[in-house]
A and B are shown apart, each in its own frame.
Chain A
Amino acid sequence: MSTATLEKPTTATASDTILSLNNIEVIYDHVVLVLKGVSLTVPRAGIVAILGANGAGKTTTLKAISNLLKAERGEVTKGSIVFDGERVDRLSPNELVRRGCIQVMEGRHCFGHLSIEENLLTGAFTRRDGNAAIKRDLEKIYTLFPRLKQRRSSQAGYTSGGEQQMCAIGRAMMSKPKMILLDEPSMGLAPQIVEEIFEIVRRLNAEEGVSFLVAEQNTNMALRYATYGYIMETGRVVMDGEAKMLRENEDVKEFYLGVAEGNKKSFREVKSYKRRKRWLS
């Protein structure tokens, strides 16, 4: 699917939307209000980015969708999450993976004591379509990630960060997902590896039709590969738009891309509070 045909997700009809969050609120430990009404949509076979600084609520948003929140004593208290035409906010992670929505967590979280191949195979835990199909998909993952094939029998804990990230994405792919929630794939990786990872994301999206919702701090990289972006600040979406539009937006340039307009300005000269007001109104 070419990216040019994608419409702005908010105007898309229901069947073109794979995921929509409607005004969700998340509370940790019954007291800490982290998400204060977040709404977003992801089109089928689209790549959407959530951008923002530390603590903006990107990870919480992803975990609210995959329902890994419960394991951290978080809870969606308001709003609704619809995945593939079905309310999913009460489902367990296991049930969500069965329905085709899987999260790749921040910091990779491979099973350190299992080999790379065993890691990939655990991704197929929820599948019921037999060993032959799983074998076939394993080979497919190996053609996508030749590096993993080389290291298939080494313990995942001893592989490099880039290999672990590939392993984590490959493991998620083994569940035959319709959508992958990718949390901070660039964390701790060399720029070249980050580029490689995002190329793989683009390839999976184009060839396998997998939708991606990517939370990233590396705004520049994310906006190059995503078609649509949401910018979050302290638990709210403060801005959203087509990736191209966001890339050219002055505020985004200044706050997230580190490019100042016109002549160079020092950081002190930027009166951010004024700009912030402009955003939030």
Chain B
Amino acid sequence: MSDLATTRPAPNPLANPWIRAGLILAAAVAAILLGAQLDSSGTLYAVFIDPFQQMIQAPDLLVQTIWEGLVSGVLYALIALGFVLIFKASGVFNFAQGIMVVFAALTLVGLYEKGVPAFLAVIITLGVMFALAVTIERVVLRPLVNQPDIILFMATFGITYFLIGFGESLFGGNPKQMIAEQLFLPKGAIDLPILGGLVSLQKIDIAAAVIASLMIALLALFFQYTRIGRALRAVADSHKAALSVGISLNQIWVIVWFTAGIVALITGIMWGARSDVSFALEIVALKALPVLILGGFTSIPGAIVGGLIIGIGEKLGEFYWGPLVGGGIESWLAYFIALGFLLFRPQGLFGDKIIERI
């Protein structure tokens, strides 16, 4: 190994994306200094100096903004996690992940409205998600096995629209209130005196962050140390080899879609408790796309870190830079960040390095 490394010619420093990014950063810093020199009321000042001054002057506001970004980031990470699970195990980019979140939340609330006790409703909803996983595997994945990826991708569009119609006919199209209280999710806020100001943390946000972190940790342990988890990683690595050692792909697919369904339910509960449960939630799932580009489609740590970067980045952007362009940055900033990543590191921060032997 080592002799191979030494005989290799020295790489062109500009070819390294990190060095390139560093150079660009240096140029940006130079521009900032230049801008500060030039004037203290122009555009450069407003973009590069003023926001940072604001951050330093009111650190409590900065903490508040970062906290809010962190919470939505954790929830983005959960949705992205659902995508990554399915993408790794079945090579399908599951467009339906967003609607699965809505469908799970709607089923839960709908059951409660029909008079089912809250925790029983959770269990029944899990059962429904399992049935959904089995149905998708039987009706969609199995007949389409070995078809090109794009066909499976289109099939998940079909699942999306089926679930929208099915959900609407069962539960109606009106927004519903998540049954947060009945599930013993805390309400209200804690005010913390931080850095000379008050930072108010919604208790539901704290609960969301804690539960999401627990969920991610559990999934990581499951993947690393259990027989099924190992089989899931094997399938992600090579379908054919997995088949040859007797791993049943059908079984693995059901497990993976069910896991994604559980993740969807938890995301739905958390997100629903912060706003309400409606089909508009589906849009949130599209936020998972830049998260995936940032973190890499095949990496679970990538989904988590990507979610946090996007969540915090867009809140900071909205709060400090938004006023410059009249607000509304939040809806597109994530895609902008993702674009930057596509230019410099297309496999994402943690995307699989492809191991190839010649």
Contact = CB atoms under 8 A, between A and B. Distances in A.
Contacts of A98: 246
Interface residues of B, number: 25
B241 A109 contact: yes
Contacts of A73: 146
Contact of A102 (B145, B146, B240, B246): B246
| Most chain A C-beta atoms within 10 Å of own C-beta, residue among B237, B239, B242, B246 | B246
Contacts of B245: 97, 102, 122-123, 125, 171-172, 175
B234 A122 contact: yes
A59 interface: no
Nearest to B352: A113
- Sorting the interface of chain A by its residue count into under 10, 10 to 19, 20 to 34 or 35 or more gives 35 or more
A92 B248 contact: yes
A155 interface: yes
A105 B241 CA distance: 8
Interface string A103-145: 1110001111110001101111110000000000000000000
A98 to B, nearest CB: 7
Interface in A139-159: 155, 157-158
Contacts of A121: 227, 230
Most buried by B among A109, A122, A161: A122
Given A94-B246, A109-B244, A122-B245, A157 B234 contact: no
A102 B234 contact: no
B319 to A, nearest CB: 40
A109 B240 contact: yes
A105 B246 contact: no
Interface string A56-79: 000000000010100111000000
Contacts of B4: none
Contacts of B240: 68, 71, 105, 109
Contacts, number: 86
A49 B146 CA distance: 31
B230 A97 contact: no
A71 B240 CA distance: 8
Nearest to A172: B245
A111 B238 contact: yes
Nearest to A155: B355
B209 interface: no
A243 interface: no
Interface string A81-113: 000000000001110111000111100011111
Given A102-B246, A161-B357, 18 more contacts: A68-B244, A71-B146, A71-B240, A98-B246, A102-B245, A103-B244, A104-B244, A111-B233, A111-B237, A111-B238, A113-B355, A114-B233, A114-B234, A118-B230, A122-B234, A122-B245, A122-B247, A123-B245
Closest 9 CB pairs of A and B: A97-B246, A157-B355, A109-B241, A94-B248, A111-B237, A126-B246, A112-B355, A122-B234, A111-B234
16 contacts: A71-B243, A92-B248, A93-B244, A94-B251, A105-B240, A109-B238, A110-B241, A111-B233, A111-B237, A111-B242, A112-B355, A114-B234, A121-B227, A121-B230, A125-B227, A125-B231
